Amino acid sequence: MDPEDCLRTMIMKLLRALLLPLLVLCAIYPSSSTAHGERAQMPQLRMRTVHWIDVQASTTKLSINEIVKISGKFMPSKYWPHHVDSIEETAFLNIGVPGPSFVRLDSRVNGVPMIRSTSFRKGEVYDFEITLKARKVGRYHVHTVINVEGAGPMIGPGMWVEVTGDEAAFQNTAKTLLGETIDLETYGLGNVMFWSALWFAVGLAWFVYWLTKCPIVVPRFKRAAELGVEADQLITPMDRRIGGIFLVLTLSLIVGGYVYAQEKWPITTPLQTGKIDVPPLDQPPTPISIKLIEARYRIPGRSFRMEFDVINSGDRPVTIGEFAAGNLRFINAKVLDVKPKDEHDLVASDALRVEGAPVAPGSTQRVVIYADDAMWETERMTTMISSPDAVVAGVLSFFDDAGGRHLVEFGGPMIPDFGMVKG
């Protein structure tokens, strides 16, 4: 077979090999953005890593170039799984959105800019605010995220944000430390395209050269095995000369590119890798302490029953208004009036039943709560019954008669109830 026939045959095989995967990708590529798959996280991770509190968006409808702020509180759990890398090592506050739909302008935790990694203390409460600028038209499921080194993303509650307007009008400028105003959408694009095209051309030329030689790939491997110690015969003097040319060309491009960059941009700032310290919020000590006596999840009724000893050392009676766990919120309608923001908001407005409350000041009282809602099943939290680490955690919001709120975390073993035994 002559080199032209060999090359033609190889190209046809490559096209056939690439065509089917491309067709499959085109068929399955989603036409619209959906949720991020927070349901796929194990219930233990959702319940025992980060508790998200009062997360909200400043608006859910905006136009291109307009601003939306995502704010709220979070509390790293004291019951953090031992087999998961700790948030007290290295973590980063992030936002989860489908693609480049927003530009993050700013993010802060307790007023500290989150441009670097940090660490968060378990059991402490942190305020956060993330400022986003709308970039792409669409309807997006936006999540808060804390990325923990070695453990991955800890996903917070999501909310739908709709963006309208003209994408061509989007502006994304920044002022450098040297006083130059640049367009971040196009800055350096010419350099990126030039060097990408140049290195692609070099690689393609090297590939095409060897593609024209027969036999190729597997036949060449077999031929080399047949020749044994004489396999070097497959490499001709011309091959060596071409290899030397490509070596000199590659090294010249690397050195030349380095010299050009040093001349063009003599002042540079290295990538920042240092960690910053974020002190927790200064909060008055809560007068409420609790001890989990028993936690049972009744599978047939999709009901979570929890029994506590509540100690109220304050001077006002308190009752439980909310139970939050795994981004799910169960509301005691007798205490709070909370409505879901949309059909995807994980809020059960009247799904928390409390027995034994209010707890009088200076007393210890047995309190039983029932969190009954189909969300346990629809959000795939019921898989906790099959976990080898059947430990649950959550946050109770206690409210006094003056409107004061006290956040108290609890955790402990969970017992599944299959509904076969009464009593």
Which residues on neighbouring strands pair with residue 365, listed in sequence order? 310
| Spatial separation of the C-alpha atoms in residues 51 and 47, rounded to whole Å | 7
| Spatial separation of the C-alpha atoms in residues 423 and 420, rounded to whole Å | 10
Residues 226 and 152 in one domain: no
**pLDDT at residue 4 in the model:** 57
**pLDDT at residue 229 in the model:** 76
Residues 21 and 91 in one domain: no
Question: Of 177, 193, 214, which residue is a domain's last?
Answer: 177
Q: Which of 29-33, 180-184, 226-230, 391-395 has the lowest mean pLDDT?
A: 29-33
Which residues on neighbouring strands pair with residue 329, listed in sequence order? 324, 347
Does the predicted TM-score (pTM) go above 0.85? no
Q: What is the mean pLDDT of residues 60-75?
A: 96
| Bridging pattern class, strands 288-298 and 91-96 | unpaired
Residues 303 and 241 in one domain: no
Question: Of 226, 248, 264, which residue is a domain's last?
Answer: 264
Q: Is the dihedral of CA 403, 319, 350, 142 positive or negative?
A: positive
* Contact status, residue 109 vs residue 94, Cβ threshold 8 Å: no
Residues 192 and 227 in one domain: yes
Residues 326 and 393 in one domain: yes
Q: What is the mean pLDDT of residues 273-292?
A: 89
Residues 61 and 24 in one domain: no
Residues 155 and 128 in one domain: yes
What are the E-state strand segments in 252-362?
288-298, 303-312, 318-325, 328-331, 347-348, 352-355
Range of the domain at 83: 38-177
Residues 24 and 44 in one domain: no
Residues 221 and 313 in one domain: no
Whether 280 is in a domain gets the answer no
Return the biggest CA–CA distance within the chain.
96
| Spatial separation of the C-alpha atoms in residues 175 and 390, rounded to whole Å | 52
Whether 202 is in a domain gets the answer yes
**pLDDT at residue 320 in the model:** 95
Residues 59 and 159 in one domain: yes
Read off the pLDDT band of 28 (50, 70, 90).
very low
Q: What is the mean pLDDT of residues 369-377?
A: 91
Whether 53 is in a domain gets the answer yes
**pLDDT at residue 32 in the model:** 38
pLDDT tens digits for range 194-237: 999 999 999 999 988 888 876 676 777 777 777 787 777 777 88
Read off the pLDDT band of 303 (50, 70, 90).
confident
Whether 271 is in a domain gets the answer no
Residue 86: which CATH number?
Answer: 2.60.120.570
Residues 403 and 314 in one domain: yes
Whether 15 is in a domain gets the answer yes
Residues 305 and 411 in one domain: yes
Question: Of 142, 177, 212, which residue is a domain's last?
Answer: 177
Max avg pLDDT among 45-49, 142-146, 209-213 = 142-146
Give the number of domains in the chain: 4
Q: What is the mean pLDDT of residues 299-328?
A: 91
**pLDDT at residue 29 in the model:** 42
Report residue 196 as tokens.
Answer: 């990408």
Q: Which helix (H) or strand (E) holds 363?
A: strand 363-372
Q: Which of 199-203, 265-269, 325-329 has the lowest mean pLDDT?
A: 265-269
Whether 283 is in a domain gets the answer no
Residue 338: which CATH number?
Answer: 2.60.40.1580
